[in-house]
Structure 1
Amino acid sequence: MQMVLDRSEPIFVAGHRGLVGSAICRALESAGYTNLITRTSKELDLRDQAAVRDFFRAEKPRHVVCAAAKVGGIVANNDYPGTFIHDNLAIQTNVIESCRETGVEKLIYLGSTCIYPKHAPQPIREEHLLTGPLEPTNEAYAVAKIAGLMMCRAYAKQYGLKSVTLMATNLYGPGDNFDLEKSHVIPALMRKAHEAKLAAAETMTIWGSGTPLREFLHVDDMAGAARFCLQNDVPYDMVNVGSGAELSIADLASLIRDVVGFQGELVFDKTKPDGTPRKLADSSRLRGLGWKPEIALRDGLAETYEWFLAARDARLSV
């Protein structure tokens, strides 16, 4: 199963400044990979077909990890569906087509468990894809990521492009986006708790009822999964990547409150949408091949909060 992978071969990590891409770069560098190719969005607009084609022809990467995407939390997904579907379709189409054209040996494509039906059986298995309606608040993003998976499958069938799509559960960790409008649930709750603590507020308001159940995975564990799939001959074209543990949003908020040190009361605004009631990924395919997560949620949250404080202090000192 282990592939003989030359650690000096060029690997293009698309989206290397994002939460996932930066973690993947760290994971590959720590494993001794010495020829990582990266470009910022200003240096290479992945939505630009001609620019992506010229880049691939010039750099000739042997392997590609596509972690570049337009991402956001429930607010951004709900308010900007046109942007989410356009940008993600453009990015992945250009990258996958250039992989085919230049003979890339292996593509690791990052998907998300939000591609599964809103009321999928739990825990969610890979075969539950396209068996029911999607969650309306992130439908545009989900459709785009499904299209990327289907493009990978079609290119494997017609052109022999080898790829593995990683369907990641909710990710968090150092490097996350803490913008309240664009962030996912953990950084949003963490920033709100931090600001409530600074203000000595008596309460902190949280969207929804607090009852939905969610699974969370530290981004370094996700990066380890990407490295595992790059290094090994995975016999699947898509695999779920999750921690296997779940908790309610209310329990998550309480845990974050403790990590941050906020002493006030949590108030749930039930007029706001909850999103999918439960989303737990069955990661038995990947676990059966030898991968497993290593970072406990509380430890990961504490590390993430430390990173947030350091990044905030760095910005204030400029």
Structure 2
Amino acid sequence: MKRLRFATLLTAALIALLPTMAQANVAYPDPLPLTGQQIIHDPTVIHLKSGGYVAYSTGGVIGARLSKDLRHWTDAGNAFAEPPSWWYEYNNTGDPWAPDISYRAGRYWLYYAVSSWGTNHSAIGVATSPSGLPGTWTDKGKAFTSGTTDSFNAIDPALVRADGRLWMSFGSYWTGIRMVELDPLTGTARPDTTVHHLATRPDAPYAVEGPYIVKHGRHYYLFASYDTCCAGADSTYRIRVGRSTSVTGPYTDSTGKPLLEGGGDLLLAGHGRYVGTGGESVFRARGQDWLAYHYYDAEDNGTPKLGLNRLGWTKHGWPKVF
């Protein structure tokens, strides 16, 4: 009888522990070990045609980092020497956010946002450069804007080409992720463009932002940051993903739940010292895809740092970090 009672109690204890054990068994890979200047926020990374890598980010006048091998990074100043005058229409410090770098038509293109915390009076700007290096950018002004009467927020831009057309996803809160078509010659939104809706959350404040879209196989994959950033070690940012056969959606997760209804497979979340993983982008180097993001270092007072992980694909065509 005692043995039976002990077995019963042990079974009950194990059942009670199952949720905790299941949570403990969720493992995410640590980012690639880095050296040098690792402080960064909302990184966008590209392999330069001249060799090496450049990363641009929120902070400074679009902060710049350089690397020859993806592992050691040096501070390279800023994309611009000083803020273009029109930035001050959107905040009094000339502070830009969340850049996106790409290469097409023989030059580099840098998109970025200017806004103020808590408002959708925002603008996405665009600049071009022959080399992609800091100090070589020429600002071309506004690519797209939002105002306080709009239901979307023009920040966190990311470009993607699809079927010979150029698209820009963007968005933060204010009903989530949106997309517009750009004129490939000017790099600005077409005057008659439709504002497509790609992802949102069921309830206010619709905490999804920082989109990035890539094509793999026959699908377009929408990566986005969910929950709260910018709170140091208290941040709850995490990266989710959905896919669609059309760049404008509808996007669904692996269970079929639409991202417009709060769906999205969890790709990467905080673990250990790596808190609040988000602000992501995807780039290709060394013959493979890479995920770039920031995390808040819980062992360094919540300082935002650069995270890099290899991005692979499962046999069912879903992304996975290594």
TM-score by length of 1: 0.29
Higher gyration radius (CA):
2
TM-score by length of 2: 0.29
Q: Which has the higher helix share?
A: 1
Q: Which has the higher contact order (CA 8 A, sep 6+)?
A: 1
